[in-house]
Amino acid sequence: MSRSGVGLDKECVPAFEDLKLGRDKSTKFIIFKLSDDKKSIIVEKKGTEPDYDSFTAALPENDCRYAVYDFEYDLVSGEGKRQKLCFFTWSPDDAPVRSKMVYASSKDALRRALNGIHADVQGSDFSEVAYETVLEKVSKGQGSK
Amino acid sequence: MASAGQGGPPPTMEYGGDEVGALVLDPGTETTRAGFAGEDLPKRVIASQYGYIPPTEEGGEGQYFLDDINILRRRGGMEVKWPMQDGIVEDWDGAARVWKEALVPQLCESLAENPLIVTEPAWNPVKNREKTTELMFEQFDVPAFYLARSAVCAAFANGKSTCLVVDVGHSNVSVTPVYDGLILKKGTQKTPLGGAFINQQCRAIFAQRNPPIDLTPYNLIDKRARVDIDEPAHPEMRKFPDQDIPHTASWLKWCQDRLVHDFKETIVQTYQQPSGSFSEQHLATQPPRLYEFPTGFNTNFGSERYKIAETMFQPTLATINPDDPLPFDPATVHSIGQIVKDSLQGIDVDVRQAVLANIVVVGGGSLLFGFTDRLQNELQSLYPTVRVKIYASMHAAERKYAGFLGGSILASLGTFHQLWISRREYDEHGAGIVEKRCK
């Protein structure tokens, strides 16, 4: 259980497993949000668009979200492609304090349930979730677009 | 999080709905904040000190005076006592009086009806945590209780579960790394360069002037005449019915501190460049600012107003007043930049980058003009290759009361009811349960 007592909807983990194991080929990212009664975390959207920009476009400007993105990049050395799962905590500056608070204190519930995440990104504006910033973090400087 | 230990989860029916009407208490060394869960600002902000007149020789009882307005009034022989030092309770009887004053009767008729969440600093010892729990259940008779780390509350209120909380408080400046909503004790550092130290620096500057500046507070002055700049002032003192019993030094200092506080807010400013480039000659060319004291005396402050704040970053520049010596050695005390460094040294390498990019600045002291910009410059020059980003709320109140705000939202969450320590659990497990539940 998280610090806030918020729980996890039963859909969340299977959706993530499908993405991780490639069972659901079309899914590229998953966006999670808090249910309307603020008692559990639910799957808001499964994204199928392959480009990264449509992922960042799916993040609201003034509310928080969690997301998992299946990040793919080429190695600089030319040794082929790599795929890494990346966990996002999206908490923009313009989000209401209350929302920021619930998301920050409930992150644990979701994050601990997901195994096999390679990198964690905390984003508070779009520059922090920009492709280059995340690439740098995920590939530890070894990747090129 | 481990639920309830051996006792199973707490009965959820007890505080089922969203409306639990919980109270929030955020005690500090200088002020104590209290209000209802779910509100953005504390309803009550009172001084954490109390006035005390000891019993006379004929016997009788000592008299206590609580809340600013009662302490402010001149009373012969009244001492002002500070029940908390460095964020930690030292005088339990006094602290209990102050806390109760903050809550009852303005916020509720009796504490027996509302759950209470209390914040505490990261360095609160286990013994004190248990003692607080005991006090709440035994003396305040609360139905349910939770003890939250104020750094975690501040982090959550800024939307971060991993960050470095820099809290510029009254008695100290503290740096607390928070990782996934838990504090990292090894990385918790503090330095006594907080608001009290800045007050002392202001006083040292006043004492250095020739003649020294008279800090008689407003409440002792009856009338004052307008005087020209730097001319001596001759205010008329107020006469009190108990004039023959002198007021105490601790009371006078307490009143003067409020005056120094105002000076600090209006005049003191931080220098923008990192340590090392501070130059009084350069600052002397900046336009000075005028300040008028309660006596009517008014004068200009030039480079001094930068120097006062600069000592937080370079303590060796501290002005020494032999009549009021510093409680620490300025040559060895760690500056704010240094404690951030110490803190990062104490935590895992992988976490360092993550927290440097998420620095949350809170506390009333951080409202010194230009403080966050200076901190950014200072840390960036200490870590030139890493991205340093500071998050500081634009609202003064959100920074001053960040601990309250975080605790307030946390306690108002409909799902939080599972985490309260209920009376039944306390009766069953004793005060030790706080260590298990409130991590």
Per-residue pLDDT reduced to its tens digit, B266-284: 999 998 887 777 888 888 8
> b or e along B237-259 (b: 16 or more beta carbons within 10 Å of the residue's beta carbon)?
eeeeeeeeeebbeebbbbbbbeb
B31 pLDDT band, cuts 50/70/90, is very high
Count Cβ atoms below 10 Å from residue B401 Cβ, excluding itself: 28
3-state secondary structure of B123: coil
**Which pLDDT score is estimated for B276?**
74
Count Cβ atoms below 10 Å from residue A25 Cβ, excluding itself: 9
Per the structure, the complete domain to which residue A116 belongs is given by 7-138
Per-residue pLDDT reduced to its tens digit, A84-135: 999 999 999 889 888 998 999 999 899 999 999 999 999 999 999 999 989 9
- Domain residues of chain B, as ranges? 23-151+398-437, 195-317
**Which pLDDT score is estimated for A25?**
83
3-state secondary structure of A65: strand
Strands (E), chain A: 7-8, 29-34, 40-47, 65-75, 81-90, 119-123, 143-144
Compute the Cα dihedral for A130, A131, A135, A141 and give only its sign: negative
| Average predicted confidence (pLDDT) for chain B | 91
Of B3, B159, B417, the CB nearest to A101: B159
B2 pLDDT band, cuts 50/70/90, is very low
Nearest to B97 by CA among B87, B108, B83: B83
Asked if the model's pLDDT at residue A144 lies above 80, the reply is: no
CA dihedral A30, A32, A35, A40 (to 10 degrees): 110
Protein fold of B23-151+398-437: Nucleotidyltransferase; domain 5 (3.30.420)
Of B3, B160, B415, the CB nearest to A4: B415
**Which pLDDT score is estimated for A39?**
87
Of A4, A38, A95, the CB nearest to B159: A95
Per-residue pLDDT reduced to its tens digit, B325-364: 999 999 999 999 999 999 999 999 989 989 999 999 999 9
Closest-CA distance, B87 to chain A, in angstroms, reads 23
Q: How many domains, in total, are found in chain A?
A: 1
- The arithmetic mean of pLDDT across residues B301-323, rounded, is 93
Residue A33, strand partner residues: A42
Q: How far apart, in Å, do the first and last CA atoms of chain A sit? A: 38
In angstroms, the CA B334 to CA B347 distance is 18
Nearest to A2 by CA among A89, A71, A97: A89
Helices (H), B53-140: 68-72, 92-103, 126-134
Compute the Cα dihedral for B27, B30, B36, B37 and give only its sign: negative
Is B157 in contact with A91 (Cβ distance < 8 A)? Answer: no
In angstroms, the CA B439 to CA B435 distance is 6
In angstroms, the CA B248 to CA B187 distance is 41
Is A107 in contact with B181 (Cβ distance < 8 A)? Answer: yes
In angstroms, the CA A116 to CA A21 distance is 10
Q: Do residues B23 and B91 lie in contact, with contact meaning Cβ atoms separated by under 8 Å?
A: no
Return the CATH number at A72: 3.40.20.10
Nearest to B363 by CA among B190, B126, B162, B106: B190
CATH of B195-317, one of 3.40.190.10, 3.40.640.10, 3.90.640.10, 1.10.3720.10: 3.90.640.10
In angstroms, the CA B419 to CA A1 distance is 10
In angstroms, the CA B196 to CA B201 distance is 9
A143 pLDDT band, cuts 50/70/90, is confident
In angstroms, the CA B346 to CA B34 distance is 33
Whole-complex ipTM: 0.83
**Which pLDDT score is estimated for A50?**
84
Q: Which of B160, B348, B418, B439 to mutate to test the interface with A (most CBs of A within 10 A)?
A: B160
User: Nearest residue on chain B to A109, judged by CA atoms?
Assistant: B1
Residue B135 φ then ψ, to 5°: -60, -45
Place of tokens 């009333």: B364
In angstroms, the CA B408 to CA B25 distance is 9
Q: Is residue A2 part of a domain?
A: no
**Which pLDDT score is estimated for A145?**
63
A2 pLDDT band, cuts 50/70/90, is low
Per-residue pLDDT reduced to its tens digit, B127-144: 999 999 999 999 999 999
Closest-CA distance, B100 to chain A, in angstroms, reads 27
Closest-CA distance, A27 to chain B, in angstroms, reads 28
Nearest to B62 by CA among B45, B79, B74: B79
Tell me the pairing of strands A40-47 and B50-53: unpaired
Residue B65, strand partner residues: B51
Place of tokens 């009767």: B105
**Which pLDDT score is estimated for B20?**
63
B12 pLDDT band, cuts 50/70/90, is very low
Q: Which residues of A touch B155 (CB under 8 A)?
A: 104
Q: What is the amino acid identity at position B280?
A: E
Closest-CA distance, A89 to chain B, in angstroms, reads 9
In angstroms, the CA B382 to CA B273 distance is 13
Q: Is residue A45 part of a domain?
A: yes
- The arithmetic mean of pLDDT across residues B46-54, rounded, is 96
